[in-house]
Amino acid sequence: MDPLVLAIECDPAVDVICTPEYVNELFETQVVFSIGGFDVNRAMLLMLLAAFVTIGLLFFAYRRARVVPTKYGVAVEGMVGFVRDEIAIGIIGPEGIRYFPYLLSLFLFILVGNFFEITPFVNFPITSRMAIPAFLALLTWVIFIFVGFAKNGFRYFADIVWPRSVPIFLRPLVGLIEFFSTFLLRPLTLAVRLFANLVAGHVMLSLLLVSGFIFIKSVGDIGARSVIGVGWFTIGLAIFLFEVVVSILQAYIFTLLSAVYIQTSVHPEH
């Protein structure tokens, strides 16, 4: 059941604290329809929508190349140029242009997915479902390992587990730490960072806005509660603005770190 529906059905005059009957109701989204044996829920539809928005954003900006671009074209070009110059070429170097399409689609998809959190009537960031950040992080993981082996051969792996730049008696220890941090912790932290930030933001917004809404709704019953409700709602709106910054920043950081990980595979020993 949707938490918002739960909140509206809950009567604060009767129940002091409104709780769902079963805690998983907060995490399960309703099945919209099913095809064959597959259930399609709202999160999956939003994923498709995010993909179409990402494609549409670029398609309508670059459908016809203009000498003098429209305002919308300039905005998209600014974003694309930022990813190309600051992230792809700025971090990886001149050959970063090869990884630019991947980084751009990563950035735009995560950005659109994050913005679903603060879009009215959608209010659900698809990146707060672990499957999406985990899959994107695995994609980066596969790419940087593949690039590392393709560019440097077996030396890529040997340099990580037997780093020649540290004293010989420290090499096993440093090699072990490097192995874990490169092959296990990198994708884990990459995925969890995005996931945790978006879950925290979504929970905060839901709590403040929905509970503020319930409290304001109980105007006739208890006057003091509606005052508290207005206060909470105001804090909720302030956090709403904060989440705009978080959405952009997390998309940027995910793309930036993907670029850095690819860079360490392209030029090791830096």
Partner 1 sequence: MEDISGALALIGYGLAAIGPGIGIGIVAGNAVQAMARQPEAANMVRTTMFLGIAFTEALALIGFVLFFLA
The contact set with partner 1 (CB under 8 A) reads: 86, 90-91, 185, 188-189, 192-193, 196, 252-253, 256-257, 260
Q: Least separation, in Å, of the C-beta of 170 and partner 1?
A: 20
Alpha helices, DSSP H, located in the chain: 3-9, 42-62, 71-82, 100-115, 131-152, 155-161, 171-180, 186-217, 223-266
C-alpha pair distances (Å), 118 with each of 22, 36, 113, 144: 27, 33, 10, 32
Q: Least separation, in Å, of the C-beta of 116 and partner 1?
A: 22
Q: Angle at the Cα of 114 (from 191 to 8), degrees rounded to 5?
A: 115
Q: Least separation, in Å, of the C-beta of 139 and partner 1?
A: 18
Q: Least separation, in Å, of the C-beta of 263 and partner 1?
A: 11
According to DSSP, residue 23 is labeled G
According to DSSP, residue 30 is labeled P
In this complex, which beta carbon is closest to partner 1, that of residue 2 or of residue 86?
A: 86
In this complex, which beta carbon is closest to partner 1, that of residue 178 or of residue 237?
A: 178
Q: Least separation, in Å, of the C-beta of 158 and partner 1?
A: 24
According to DSSP, residue 17 is labeled S
In this complex, which beta carbon is closest to partner 1, that of residue 185 or of residue 244?
A: 185
In this complex, which beta carbon is closest to partner 1, that of residue 151 or of residue 193?
A: 193
